[in-house]
């Protein structure tokens, strides 16, 4: 497996040109037959449109159409949290289970739903669990919503007023840091109880940069989940097994296993 990571350009044109350069380079070196794409939502999956993701410079952008024109290859596009969850459900921490929820915890909070090894889309955008509304009077998000889950537990909230990274905060062992992680775990566990009431999954898998701090928040998460979930049996909570590779693996699975994209 090969990776290339680049800073995200601020304009649509620059982002598109960078992406095409990377893809053309890979196509020149390997026998590429199809391309799978994981992208932050919201998306119009049927038409291959990137609608208006909060952290990418694309708005109502016909990504699938343009990429197929540039590469002359079949393109499959889906939400990045969906492909993360698909990879974990087929090859990772959820491979023994049929009903899998995935959450990616980072700059924002993404969600995916995989049932019987197939992504569940609803009408197209099911699984936007980061926008699960928690408090009508809560902080306003980038898309205008009030009190969404990600406004309480995303990376920027964890490290506000602190010029450090999430990884550095995870290494801090002092009353302030301990309180931050305890509150984070408690809030996440509360949200997972709501998610459990809706989906009753076998397992919920946590990935993303914040999940790497698992030992700091897991205990308070589980305590909060147990307290607030009314189901006879709470779902199993697991850390992602495929690490930072999950999204790439999931996009490849999406492109090569048509049945997975229900």
Q: How confident is the model at residue 231 (pLDDT cuts 50, 70, 90)?
A: very high
The CA distance from 230 to 128, in Å, is 23
Q: At 164, is the pLDDT very low, low, confident or very high (cuts 50, 70, 90)? A: confident
- 1/207: higher pLDDT: 207
Cα separation, 30 vs 2, in Å, equals 11
Quickly count: other Cβ atoms within 10 Å of residue 37's Cβ: 21
Q: How much is the average pLDDT of 190-213?
A: 96
Domains of the chain: 12-81+246-260 (3.30.420.40), 96-240 (3.30.420.40)
Average pLDDT, integer, range 33-49:
91
pLDDT tens across 107-160, in order? 889 999 999 999 999 988 899 998 888 877 667 776 667 778 888 888 888 877
Distance set, CA 114 to CA 81, 119, 202, 216, 256 (Å): 11, 4, 11, 27, 17
Question: How many whole angstroms separate alpha carbon 112 and alpha carbon 206?
Answer: 11
Helix (H, G, I), strand (E, B) or coil at 79: strand
Instruction: Report which listed range, 8-12, 81-85, 155-159, is most confident.
Output: 81-85
Residues 147, 49, 130, CA angle at the centre, nearest 5°? 20
pLDDT at residue 200 is higher than 80 = yes
Q: At what angle do helices 12-29 and 63-71 cross, to 10 degrees?
A: 40
Cα separation, 67 vs 70, in Å, equals 5
Q: Where are the alpha helices (DSSP H) in the chain?
A: 12-29, 63-71, 80-91, 150-153, 155-158, 166-171, 175-199, 214-228, 246-256
């Amino acid at each position: 497996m090969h990776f290339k990571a680049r800073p995200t350009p601020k304009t649509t044109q620059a982002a598109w040109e960078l992406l095409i350069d990377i893809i053309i380079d890979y196509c020149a070196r390997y026998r590429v037959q199809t391309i799978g794409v994981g992208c932050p939502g919201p998306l119009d999956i049927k038409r291959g449109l990137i609608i208006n993701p909060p952290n990418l410079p694309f708005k109502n952008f016909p990504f699938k159409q343009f990429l197929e024109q540039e590469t002359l290859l079949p393109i499959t596009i889906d939400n990045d949290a969906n492909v993360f969850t698909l990879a974990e459900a087929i090859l990772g921490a959820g491979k023994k289970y049929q009903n899998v929820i995935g959450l990616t915890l980072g700059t924002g909070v993404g969600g995916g739903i995989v049932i019987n090894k197939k992504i569940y889309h609803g009408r197209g955008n099911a699984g936007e669990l980061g926008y699960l509304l928690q408090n009508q009077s809560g902080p306003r998000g980038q898309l205008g919503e009030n009190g969404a889950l990600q406004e309480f537990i995303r990376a920027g909230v964890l490290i506000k007023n602190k010029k450090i990274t999430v990884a550095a905060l995870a290494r801090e062992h002092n009353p302030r840091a301990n309180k931050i992680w305890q509150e984070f775990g408690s809030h996440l566990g509360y949200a997972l109880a709501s998610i459990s009431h809706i989906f009753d999954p076998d397992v919920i898998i946590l990935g993303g940069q914040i999940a790497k701090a698992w030992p700091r928040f897991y205990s308070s998460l589980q305590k909060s989940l147990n307290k607030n979930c009314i189901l006879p049996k709470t779902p199993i909570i697991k850390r992602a097994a495929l690490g930072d590779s999950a999204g790439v693996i999931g996009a490849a699975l999406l492109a090569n296993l048509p049945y997975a994209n229900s």
